[in-house]
Structure 1
Amino acid sequence: MSLEIWLAYIAAVVVISGTPGPNMLLSMTHGIHHGLGATVRSTMPGLLFGLAIILGISLGGLGALLLASTLAFEIIKYVGAAYLIWLGIKTWRSAGGSLSTEGRPDAEHAWARFRIGVLVSLSNPKAILFGVAFFPQFIDHTQPMAPQAAILWLSFIAIETGCMCIYAGGGARLADWLRQGSRMRWFDRTAGAAFVGAGVLLGAFRR
C-alpha cells in the first residue's frame, strides 16, 4: 500500500469517525451515565466488535453480495433502523434517570453495555456505508490482501478508539454539570431524538 493511499484513507477516517453519529453519541451518553472507565471497559469494546464484524463482512466479499441482494439489504436495513428507533424511544422515556457510580460491581451491567455497543455499531448508518461501500475502495486487489486489510483495519480501530475516548471523556466531564436542574432530562431527550433520527435515516436510505 502506497503512503499516499494510506494518508488519504487516514484523512477520510478521521472525518468519518469524528463526525457525531450513533457510536459517538452512545460513547458520550454512557460516559455521562456510567463514567469514563466503565465506558472504556464495556461500551467501547462492544462498539469496536460491531465495527470489526462489518469490516470482516466487507473483506469477505459479503458486502458486495449484500448490496446486490435487494431482499437481504432491505431486511438488514430495517432491522437496524428499528433497533435505533427503539433505543431512541427508550432513551427518551428514561430521560433524567440517576447517574450510575463508576466504582460499584456491575458485571451484569457491563455485559449489557457491551451488547448495546455491538447492536448500535451494527445498526450505525455510517458504519454500514463505510464497511460495504467505502472501505473496499482502498484495497488493491492486484496486491496481497491480508497486509492491506491489517493496515486499514488497525488504522481505523485506532482512530475510532481515540474519537470514542474523546466523546466518552467529554461526557464524563459533563456529568456533574448535567446533574443540575433539568439538564440531564433535556440531554437524554436530545440523545433519544438523535438515535431515532439515525434510525429514520437508515430506514430511508436507498442504494
Structure 2
Amino acid sequence: MSEYMVFALAFAASAASPGPEIAGLLSRALSGGVFASFTLALGIILGKLLMLTAAVLGLTALVEVLGPMFIVLKFCGVVYLVWLGIKKWKNAGRMLAVNEKPKPVNAIVDIGLGLTMTLSNPIAILFYIALLPGVINISGLTLNSYALLCTIIICVMTCIVVGYGIMAEVVRKLFSSANSKALMDRLAGAMMIGAGILIAIR
C-alpha cells in the first residue's frame, strides 16, 4: 500500500471521529443545510494545513513558546461557540416571515471560527509528528510531496464535510414540521455548546 494512502486513511479516521469540529459542522448543516457548513469547514481545513506545515517544519517548539496565545485563542472560540448555541436554542422553532430573509452568514467570522477550533488544539500537531516519520520520509520530503499531503487533507476533509452535510440534510428533511424545526434548532444549539465545552476541556 502506498505511503500516501496510509497517510490518507489514518488522517480520515482521525478527522472523521466525533469531536468539536464535527459537532460544529453538523450543527451548521442541521440549522442551515449542506452549504451552510462550508465556510466553517474552510477554516478547519486551513487550520489542519497549518498544523501539517508546522509538523513538517519541526515547529513543535513554537507550540510551547506560544502556549498562552493558544489558551486565549481556545477560550475565545469557546465563548463564541457557546454564545451561538444559546442563541440558536433561544430562537428554536422560529419561522421566518414571508418577506423576511435569513441573515447571511459572515464568511470571515465562520472561517475564523473554524481556524480557531482547529488551532486551539495544539496537541493535534502531535498526530502529524507521530504519523509522518513512520509513513513519509520527512528528510526526503519535496515540495511536490508536501503539496500531495496538502491535497490529501483537502480531499479527505471535503468528503467528510459533504458526507456529514448530506446526513444532516436528510435529518432536516425528515423532520420538517414546525415542532421538528424547534427540535432540530435545539439539537444544533446543543451541539454548538457541546463543541465549546469539548474545546474547553481538551
Length-normalised TM-score, structure 2: 0.74
3-state DSSP of counterpart to 2:139: coil
TM-aligned CA deviation for residue 161 of structure 1: 0.6
Could you list the runs of 5+ residues in structure 1 that have no partner in the other structure? none
Structure 2 match to 1:151: 148
Structure 1 match to 2:16: 18
Identity %: 21
Structure 1 match to 2:81: 84
TM-aligned CA deviation for residue 128 of structure 1: 3.5
Structure 1 match to 2:184: 187
Structure 2 match to 1:175: 172
Go from structure 1 to structure 2 and tell me whether the alpha carbon gap of 1:129 and 1:78 turns closer, same or farther (over 3 Å shift): same
Write the deviation string for residues 55-109 of structure 1: whole angstroms up to 9, x where unpaired. Answer: 2255145564123433222212222222222222222222223379xxxx98x72
Structure 2 match to 1:121: 114
Q: Equivalent residues in 2 for 1:91-102 (5 A)? A: 91-98=88-95
Contact 1:88 1:196 in 2 (8 A): yes
Taking the aligned partners of 2:60 and 2:90, their CA distance within structure 1 comes to 35
Contact 2:87 2:189 in 1 (8 A): yes
Taking the aligned partners of 1:69 and 1:127, their CA distance within structure 2 comes to 11
Q: CA RMSD in A?
A: 3.4
TM-aligned CA deviation for residue 130 of structure 1: 6.9
The number of aligned residues is 194
